[in-house]
Amino acid sequence: MKNFIAINGSMGVGKTSVGKRVCDMLGRSAFIDGDWCLDIHPFIGNRETKDMAMDNILHMSRNYYNCGECDSVVLSWIMSENTVNKIFSGLSDIKFKMHNIVLTCSEGALTDRWKKDSVTEWRNNENLDIAVKSIDDFNKRTGCLLVDTSSLSIDDVAEKIIRSIMS
């Protein structure tokens, strides 16, 4: 059975890096960054654009599912529990094995990572405050594999996720 792996968490926790590494380690997999599905300039995050992003994610996931060369789809995106449920529900008619992964870390680890990433223009103090405030919400998630990445390497986190989906 093919896998659909949703990797969720606050800004800066490592979703994209871990998701890409999971794809590399699994092989025969596709990576979807939810931000690509809502890449509007200037950014507008309203109901219409979020619905469009959801439709894009579902469409891409179905196409990858139907591709014989692809055994797994990895989605990384900041998602509410409702959004995760909508994605899983929107794909429920196909035979994906669904995996709900939430990455978290300590405030100190997040702040250190944030300050080391000078490439991403939205890594500013205002967004760091938002990201730090969201950590508690992600730590309270249920029905998922919760992975504290504070002291783990990208490879360690990816291996933990792969062990979980293979069990």
27 to 21, 50, 71: CA distances (angstroms): 10, 30, 8
21 to 5, 102, 151, 165: CA distances (angstroms): 13, 16, 17, 15
pLDDT of residue 167: 86
Structure token pair of residue 24: 């590399």
The whole-number average pLDDT for the span 88-117 is 94
| Average predicted confidence (pLDDT) for the chain | 94
pTM: 0.94
Q: Tens digit of pLDDT for each residue in 5-41? A: 999 999 999 999 999 999 999 999 999 999 999 988 9
pLDDT of residue 122: 75
R_g of the chain computed on alpha carbons: 15
What is the torsional sign of CA 139, 19, 101, 60? positive
Say if residue 124's pLDDT is above 90.
Answer: no
Domain spanning 2-166, CATH architecture: 3-Layer(aba) Sandwich (3.40)
Q: Tens digit of pLDDT for each residue in 67-77? A: 999 999 999 99
Say if residue 109's pLDDT is above 80.
Answer: yes
pLDDT of residue 7: 98
- As a whole number of angstroms, the longest Cα–Cα distance in the chain is 44
What is the share, in percent, of the chain residues with pLDDT greater than 90? 86
pLDDT of residue 129: 94
pLDDT of residue 118: 65
The whole-number average pLDDT for the span 83-107 is 96
The whole-number average pLDDT for the span 33-50 is 90
pLDDT of residue 114: 87
